[in-house]
Structure 1
């Protein structure tokens, strides 16, 4: 995984999606299918260098656009609710919401907004953008791979992508001492969009 890679405020205009797809030959707009739970924002961070602590953000929304004939024009935005952090441990999640980490009371939004889509011509791409977390906005890059696209059983059309990125806690003002092995957060993004 590459450090500093992701698109704009994870919790806010969240992520992922937008520009990662290679859709049909004509430009199309997609809404990320969070209602059907066909998308997820997952994270992992080392626990003392001994194991991985994993979790996710349960509440987010977003949309993306893609034109296979003009991929450079692809775009995406994702909004994330940082208070929806879920590491499957209620006491830890409360701590993650506190000022030591996400500071959700003073910074209730996070997200990502793309600035560039760089296709590698083999179904993979680099999605550049700005990621906002804890009131800090920084550039980030996401390694993207297209999973597939096509008609669904309900008369709609879908496109799906997966993405990976990572960032340093300190870059977003989080200086809680978890030890040197736990300074980097890794994100795994799964995005399925419904064409509008």
Structure 2
């Protein structure tokens, strides 16, 4: 009976022991948080956030047990135009004096097969927390040239500015922001 209980306990813990923890390699510039929004309906304005950090847990045998958290410094917004970036940091948009951080924390991950994942979680931006869904795909994983182990993913989502309390009028074509995420993690 005791051996049966021990075996059952080990089997219950088996999925947990296969999961690995990763730190997102933002310092080595192997990860990025990019955005694009239509500018007045005439073109696309693109940019990124330069300062962020995060971690994730992942087991290729049990992807639905994965989790991810990312913290973003909204003051690091970079659209390759200093005056525009100053405006984006101001009260009309990110209001970084009042809201000095943004974050994402997964709540559920669904394995769609063939490396595709649906990542649901809570995004906090501009002081508002809302659920979002990210369409993600595993890019790959393996040993790196320095003896470490890495795993990489990409994802896309679209958010409405008004959902996060940002109501600056850029016209009807500019109500949503597309986010493209590239995440490479180093296993700890």
TM-score when scaled to structure 1? 0.86
User: Which of these two proteins has the greater Rg computed from alpha carbons?
Assistant: 2
Which residue number in structure 2 is paired with residue 111 of structure 1?
103
Deviation at 1:67, TM superposition (A): 1.9
- Larger RCO (alpha carbons 8 Å, 6+ apart): 1
Decide which of 111, 123, 133 is 1:131's aligned counterpart: 123
Which residue number in structure 2 is paired with residue 188 of structure 1?
180
CA distance in 2, matches of 1:43, 1:68: 28
Counterparts of residues 46-57 of structure 1 (less than 5 Å):
46-57=38-49
Q: Which stretch of structure 1 is more off in the superposition, 182-191 or 63-72?
A: 63-72
Unaligned runs of 5+ in 1: 1-24
CA distance in 2, matches of 1:128, 1:137: 13
Deviation at 1:48, TM superposition (A): 1.0
Deviation at 1:71, TM superposition (A): 2.2
Deviation at 1:68, TM superposition (A): 2.5
Decide which of 137, 147, 160 is 1:155's aligned counterpart: 147
Which residue number in structure 2 is paired with residue 171 of structure 1?
163
Unaligned runs of 5+ in 2: 1-16
Which residue number in structure 1 is paired with residue 8 of structure 2?
none
The superposition leaves residues 135-161 of structure 1 with CA deviations (integer Å, 9 ceiling, x where unpaired) of 000000000011100000000000001
Deviation at 1:69, TM superposition (A): 2.9
Deviation at 1:28, TM superposition (A): 0.1
Deviation at 1:73, TM superposition (A): 1.6
Structure ranking higher in helix proportion: 2
CA distance in 1, matches of 2:59, 2:49: 29
CA distance in 2, matches of 1:72, 1:56: 28
Pairs aligned (count): 172
TM-score when scaled to structure 2? 0.90
